[in-house]
């Protein structure tokens, strides 16, 4: 079965308004469950996902020492197939009144509450979220840890934006304490919005990725991240060298890749900021360590494309 809350490929996202019930009230609960929940359309369901939805963290799922078996009752939506390969309506399941049962951090059943309530054992803790939607955790495939503090900065063109806002902000991540503080905020913001897995850019500093992986490991999250490799066409205070970029990345790979739910992504920022020598060493890392990820940027705007052509 898929993993459940507390360290999972699929984690429950929920609002923090819960009503705890015990088994002796379950027949009454079925009668009292809001009738309107039975007729939600897919459009209405989507509208119920709000920024206030949060992801269940490892800490929350470990709070109760009374029961390691829990059942969560709410509307439930999850994918069961790739919509590119099957009809859209066959790619997901939606239960207006659903029940998700978890034992020791693993999902052991999911389906309509009407079909599953009577089968729950007496030691199962039942938690209700009648106004919430439970989904698998969302996956963000491109996000920058060091840009957390500059969200909403004036856009400008990409290259101007990098020089004016991004690079000065990223320079602060040479400080391990600053990196740790931002990593904590960054992960809390991901979870607050239901994102439980992300492909993350650090800064050019090894410290930024150390801090991020430490924070992610503490919550047993599935995360992929890498130190930016950038040895040219950037401020002097923010460049590495082909050799130091390789060495720092290799040290992070050996410390973190495959540790728990964590994976490493070799991360040359984009072609203009990595020399051919650095890109060659990035490729060497991928050869030396099978199973790594690779992330970068490409063709983000016309000015960048013309710059790359001129290199």
User: 199-247, pLDDT tens digit by residue?
Assistant: 999 999 999 999 999 999 999 999 999 999 999 999 999 999 999 999 9
Helix orientation angle between 242-256 and 206-218, rounded to the nearest 10 degrees: 10
What confidence category does residue 22 fall into, taking pLDDT thresholds of 50, 70 and 90? very low
* pLDDT for res 213: 99
Distance CA 294, CA 258 (A): 15
Does residue 97 sit in helix, strand or coil?
strand
User: 146-163, pLDDT tens digit by residue?
Assistant: 999 998 888 778 888 888
Strands (E), the chain: 13-14, 19-21, 54-55, 69-79, 92-103, 106-112, 125-134, 138-144, 195-201, 222-226, 228-229, 262-268, 293-294
Helix orientation angle between 276-288 and 242-256, rounded to the nearest 10 degrees: 20
Give the residue-averaged pLDDT of 60-68: 50
* pLDDT for res 68: 87
Give the residue-averaged pLDDT of 9-13: 39
Domains, the chain, in order of start with CATH, read 69-134 (2.30.40.10), 138-310 (3.20.20.140)
Instruction: Retrieve residue 232's tokens.
Output: 């040219």
Match 């507390």 to its residue by tokens. Answer: 6
H helices within 3-107, ranges in order? Answer: 26-32, 42-47, 58-61
Cβ–Cβ under 8 Å, residues 3 and 105: yes
* pLDDT for res 10: 38
What confidence category does residue 140 fall into, taking pLDDT thresholds of 50, 70 and 90? very high
What's the whole-model pTM score? 0.75
Give the residue-averaged pLDDT of 98-104: 96
DSSP string, 178-229: HHHHHHHHHHHHHHHTTEEEEEEE--SSHHHHHHHHHHHHHTT-EEEEEPEE
Handedness of CA 33, 35, 40, 46 (dihedral sign): negative
Give the chain's mean pLDDT.
84
CA 30 to chain CA centroid, Å, is: 34
H helices within 35-82, ranges in order? Answer: 42-47, 58-61
What confidence category does residue 67 fall into, taking pLDDT thresholds of 50, 70 and 90? low
Half-sphere exposure (Cβ direction) of 130: Cα atoms closer than 13 Å: 13
Quick check: 98 pLDDT over 60?
A: yes
* pLDDT for res 151: 87
Quick check: 54 pLDDT over 90?
A: no
């Amino acid at each position: 079965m898929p993993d459940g809350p507390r360290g999972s490929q699929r984690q429950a996202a929920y609002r923090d308004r819960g009503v705890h019930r015990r088994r002796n009230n379950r027949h009454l609960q079925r009668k009292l469950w809001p009738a309107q929940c039975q007729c939600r359309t897919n459009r209405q369901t989507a509208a119920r996902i709000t920024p206030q939805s949060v992801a269940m963290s490892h800490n929350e799922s470990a709070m109760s020492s009374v029961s390691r078996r829990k059942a969560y009752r709410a509307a439930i939506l999850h994918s069961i197939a790739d919509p590119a390969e099957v009809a859209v309506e066959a790619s997901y399941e939606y239960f207006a009144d659903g029940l998700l049962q978890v034992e020791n951090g693993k999902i052991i059943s999911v389906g309509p509450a009407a079909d599953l309530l009577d089968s729950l054992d007496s030691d199962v803790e039942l938690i209700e979220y009648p106004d919430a939607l439970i989904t698998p955790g969302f996956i963000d495939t491109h996000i920058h840890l060091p840009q957390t503090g500059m969200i909403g900065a004036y856009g400008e063109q990409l290259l101007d934006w990098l020089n004016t806002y991004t690079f000065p902000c990223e320079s602060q991540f040479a400080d391990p304490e600053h990196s740790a503080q931002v990593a904590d905020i960054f992960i809390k913001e991901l979870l607050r919005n239901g994102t439980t897995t992300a492909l993350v850019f650090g800064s050019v500093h090894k410290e930024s990725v150390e801090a991020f992986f430490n924070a992610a490991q503490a919550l047993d999250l599935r995360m992929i991240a890498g130190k930016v490799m950038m040895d040219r066409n950037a401020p002097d205070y923010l460049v590495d060298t082909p050799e130091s970029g390789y060495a720092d990345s290799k040290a992070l790979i050996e410390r973190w890749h495959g540790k728990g739910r964590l994976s490493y992504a070799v991360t040359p920022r984009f072609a203009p900021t990595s020399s051919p020598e650095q890109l060659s060493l990035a490729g060497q890392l991928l050869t030396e360590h099978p199973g790594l990820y690779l992330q970068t940027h490409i063709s983000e705007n016309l000015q960048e494309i013309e710059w790359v052509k001129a290199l």
